[in-house]
Amino acid sequence: MTKIGVLGLQGAVREHVRSIEACGAEALIVKKKEQLAEIDGLILPGGESTTMRRLINQYDFFEPLQQFGERGKPIFGTCAGLILLATEIVGQDNAHLQLMNMKVERNAFGRQKDSFEAKLHITGVAEDFQAVFIRAPFIVDVGNQVEVLARHNDAIVAAREGHYLCSAFHPELTEDDRLTQYFVNMVEESKKELAS
Ligand code: GLN
């Protein structure tokens, strides 16, 4: 069975486990870098990106996570996880894992709109996806290999670059598992490719 990890250092971990299992895959909460060898794909959950980065360093996850992606294993970053994947963060000298070629802005919807919901058209996923945004970032700019999957007003809120996927919202907080299913399908395809 396809096994998908959720980085379990901080943030919305259990909700992703529920969603992965609802899609018929096996879920593993990853708390040690050695567990990366056991999984076919990984979700970087929402939470707080600076805290998550501190814990990634503390638990010696930084290079193993980069290598996991560079070996072709799919990674899905949601909200803070999207920030961790980006090559550039507005107003910061240093980005984090730098696996997805895009520039992101943190807390980009402003304080008045701390959290809100919106119905999105997500290419290849759904016409009417109820998306939950919580102190969400958005994507300001993408490299030319990045496919924009969804926008809210003009802001890019979901994208894919090869085996990397990200969303500015929290797909795990509703019962609508179609975006998680899309990622599970990506992982299943990559498993076949990596085995051939
Ligand atoms: N604002 C958070 C950050 O900058 C992300 C919020 C979230 O993951 N819900 O990391």
Query: What pLDDT, on the 0 to 100 scale, is given for residue 112?
Result: 57
Annotated catalytic residue, options 15, 23, 79, 105: 79
* Residue of 39, 49, 37, 64 lying closest to 9 (CA atoms): 49
Query: What pLDDT, on the 0 to 100 scale, is given for residue 125?
Result: 97
Strands (E), the chain: 3-7, 26-30, 41-44, 75-78, 86-89, 100-105, 115-122, 126-134, 138-142, 147-152, 155-161, 164-167
Q: What is the pTM of this model?
A: 0.97
How would residue 195 be classed by pLDDT, with cut points 50, 70 and 90? confident
Query: What pLDDT, on the 0 to 100 scale, is given for residue 25?
Result: 98
Query: What pLDDT, on the 0 to 100 scale, is given for residue 189?
Result: 96
Can you tell me the mean pLDDT for 52-72? 98
The answer to whether residue 79 is catalytic is yes
Residue 88 has pLDDT above 60, yes or no: yes
Query: What pLDDT, on the 0 to 100 scale, is given for residue 110?
Result: 79
What is the homologous superfamily of the domain 3-195 according to CATH?
Class I glutamine amidotransferase (GATase) domain (3.40.50.880)
Query: Any idea which of 16-30, 61-75, 109-123, 139-153 has the lowest mean pLDDT?
Result: 109-123
Q: Which residue's C-alpha comes closest to atom 1 of ligand 1?
A: 135
**Which of 107, 117, 170, 173 best tests ligand 1's pocket when mutated (most atoms within 8 Å of CB)?**
107
Q: Report the pocket of ligand 1 as residue ranges, CB < 6 Å.
A: 46-49, 79-80, 83, 106-107, 134-135
